[in-house]
Amino acid sequence: MQNITRSLKNKEKISILFVCLGNICRSPAAQGIMQHLVDTEGLSGQFAIDSAGTYGGHAGELPDKRMRVHAARRGYSLEHRSRPVSESDFYDFDLIVAMDDSNYDTLRCLSPDTDGQDKVVRMASFCRMHPYYDAVPDPYYEGASGFELVLDLLEDACRGLLDELSGK
């Protein structure tokens, strides 16, 4: 699927950064879901997972309360504190996963070099059950159904990403 994910399959530890705009809805939810998956499968030692935003205006804040409530109903605890993407992220992480095209384009522009640009991938490209989505939509201005859709997409994409990285 993704050339970058193929090259990571034999790494001892894979570091993944999930990125959305403000790092208060989609990316901390993706971080929480992915962490839950690797913990459940006993793979915690093989992955380092974090999240960040392309916009730093929410730095230090917990995820949006609505996202925390909806995630908690599915068994996910979202305790990450928002932070902006930094230049060092392009060196520190093996894979940088963008939630939508705007995040993808911004991340590629922020990257200090082409190696960093090559690490940027789209979250929706890992969806298996929802292949007709080309992005994970921002639920911030949506109602409960928007948050539920985002969690459905992220559960699907995280499962697809983990399966791809673990060779399943």
Q: Which one of 25, 26, 64, 89 is the catalytic residue? A: 26
Contacts with 79 (C-beta within 8 Å, 6 or more apart), sequence order: 62
134 is catalytic: no
66 is catalytic: no
Q: Which one of 50, 94, 138, 156 is the catalytic residue? A: 138
Coil, strand or helix: which one is 10? coil
Tokens of 9: 């399959």
* Pair 83, 23: CB distance under 8 Å: yes
* Pair 121, 2: CB distance under 8 Å: yes
Cα gap 35→42, rounded to integer Å: 10
Pairing of strands 120-122, 95-98: parallel
20 is catalytic: yes
Contacts with 149 (C-beta within 8 Å, 6 or more apart), sequence order: 137, 139, 142
List, by residue number, the catalytic residues: 20, 26, 138
